[in-house]
Amino acid sequence: MSPQPTTNPATDVVACPACGRRNRVPRAAAGTPRCGSCSAPLPWVVAADDADFAEIAGAARLPVLVDLWADWCGPCRAVAPAVEQVARELAGRVKVVKVDVDRAPGVANRYAARSIPTLLLLRDGREIGRQVGAVPAAQLRAWVGGVIDGRPGAPGGPR
């Protein structure tokens, strides 16, 4: 019987979109993950629950896009590829934290999520934007970019 490989639950493995190299990325960190081979910024997508949300979302210096979703929710499944695309396109500028509201009701209650999917943008732990419902990838990208860049009038962003 061969030994089982050991894994560190505090890290995830992410393939670099630029060169394809697999990199270990910490789930909670203050920096910005970069490829160990080509130094390109890496998409940072992690799951969190009630127990680790504060650490995972709070440690990031980057703005955090929180996806409040549930497995049984059709619109949540429909928007998931758009969230992943935004994570790739805005690698180095945003961290994505996916929260299953059935497994993390405390996080959902903390942010008064009454409908899902609810997408939140946090900066320094404070909500700076909210989008409720599934939206196409281009619209989601424009919203996230507008809010994190502080453009007044961005839908769901600062006014």
Given a contact cutoff of 8 angstroms between Cβ atoms, the answer to whether 139 and 86 are in contact is: no
- Dist CA 48 CA 69 (whole Å): 11
Tell me whether residue 76 is one of the annotated catalytic residues.
yes
- Dist CA 106 CA 16 (whole Å): 33
Using alpha carbons, select from 148, 131, 149 the residue that is nearest to residue 140: 131
Beta strands in 3-159 (DSSP E): 11-15, 22-26, 45-48, 64-69, 95-100, 118-123, 126-132
**Which residue among the candidates 16, 35, 38, 76 is catalytic per the annotation?**
76
- Dist CA 6 CA 29 (whole Å): 21
**Which residue among the candidates 16, 19, 35, 73 is catalytic per the annotation?**
73
Helical residues (DSSP H) of the chain, grouped into ranges: 53-58, 74-89, 105-110, 137-148
Residues with catalytic annotation?
73, 76
